[in-house]
Amino acid sequence: MKQLAQESLKHFEKIYGYTPHHIIQAPGRVNIIGEHTDYNDGFVLPCAINYGTVIASGRRNDHKVNVAALNFEQQDQFDLRHPITNSATGWANYVRGVFKYIFELYPHIQGMDLTIYGNVPLGSGLSSSAALEVSIATTIKTLYDLSVDPKILAQLCQKAENQFVGMNCGIMDQFISTLGQKDHALLIDCRSLETQSIPIPSELSVVIVNSNVKHGLVDSEYNLRRQQCEEASSILKVSKLRDATLTLLEANKSLMTNVVYRRARHIITENTRTLEAAKALTQNDIQTMGILMAKSHNSMKDDFEITTPAIDILVDIIKTPLGDKGGVRMTGGGFGGCVVALVPNNQVEIIRHAVEQNYYRQTGLKESFYLCHAMNGADIVPI
């Protein structure tokens, strides 16, 4: 993040002609287990990662917001005294949405100049959008000294993504980007928003491999999964699938389509696996973690149907040398993106080699390999 901070500082001074008042960072995330459970009021186990978004910022005396997105070499401007409307430029809507909902609550905030720079690979399931939203929200909070609870801040970012951008995501990504803890994963109860810090043993590495599969229908498929879960909970007469059991599901199987039945089965079993995984990680029981991550992947593949052939191949390639020494599964919303592997430190190079030797040969795609560390959530970067 240091290099990102230096770049955004340098460009800030060049574009706006003065030294920024603050530099803020917000991380992307990797989800170790608990996929699509967040909007079902269930459990997730993500950690914030050492890839994120950095914003250099300065207060203005008027109500103008000037934004320079260094990655895209694009700019956006709007005025807080006028209604904040959607932009034709994708990334700008994440920024505008967060401003809109924070400004509604804190109408005394004034304008600002911003330079944004990030290194979370886009569309890879590592939450570049949450990193952007949370870095904007934390910048506004810091510049105008707002006393807002971090959980509320995360919810405002989620609202921006749901209502302004139009992606019906759950709370996991914004929450972990705000509240992540160095060297820990966070078990989040997405109903109560209570958390439990789960230390990641120092002998384990968090490896992320990007399949570089691009899929165009992510948002519509995601929203469809959400509807199918709602349909299941309505048939089961529970408020959310968090409240359903496998026994209840089996008793009502004949009332739903096979697709809806399998969607619900993924959520119910994934919630149980996530709680078991938090326990296993706490006990440094990597064999159990491996079994749970494998079951999670198969459930995403067969029941929730959100993996792709290349992702399944990548998981198998990593599993072969890893055996029962670690775990691997697809991570994030699905339909492409990354796999996460939790492996003993001495297995990292063995896995890298296996992927390099086999992934391109079997899929024609070139992977990207990231060795990650669990990081703190959004924070001020000292200038």
How far lies 136's CA from each of 3, 49, 163, 251, 376, in Å? 19, 18, 17, 47, 17
202 secondary structure, DSSP code:
T
Q: Which residue has the tokens 């530099």?
A: 23
For the record, the structure tokens of 224 come out as 């469809």
72 secondary structure, DSSP code:
T
Nearest distance from residue 37's CB to ligand GAF, in Å?
Answer: 7
Give the number of residues in contact with ligand GAF, rule: CB under 6 A: 12
Nearest distance from residue 2's CB to ligand GAF, in Å?
Answer: 27
Distance, CA of 260 to CA of 258 (rounded, Å):
6
Show the site string, 321-360: x = touches ligand GAF by CB under 6 A, - = not.
-----------xx---------------------------
* Interaction residues for ligand GAF, span 157-176 (CB under 6 A): 169-170, 172-173
Q: Which is nearer to ligand GAF, 172 or 260 (CB)?
A: 172
Nearest distance from residue 217's CB to ligand GAF, in Å?
Answer: 14
**Does 133 interact with ligand GAF (rule: CB under 6 A)?**
no
173 an active-site residue? Answer: yes
Q: Which is nearer to ligand GAF, 38 or 367 (CB)?
A: 38
Going by C-alpha positions, the residue among 108, 85, 104, 99 that lies closest to residue 55 is 99
Q: Which is nearer to ligand GAF, 76 or 173 (CB)?
A: 173
C-beta of residue 368 within 8 angstroms of C-beta of residue 352: no
Nearest distance from residue 281's CB to ligand GAF, in Å?
Answer: 18
128 is in an annotated binding site: yes
In DSSP notation, 310-366 reads HHHHHHHHHHHHHGGGSEEEEESS-SSSEEEEEEEGGGHHHHHHHHHHHHHHHHS--
**Does 46 interact with ligand GAF (rule: CB under 6 A)?**
no
222 is in an annotated binding site: yes
The binding site consists of 35-38, 123-129, 161, 222
Q: Would you name the residues annotated as active-site residues?
A: 173
Interface with ligand GAF (CB under 6 A): 31, 35-36, 38-39, 127, 169-170, 172-173, 332-333
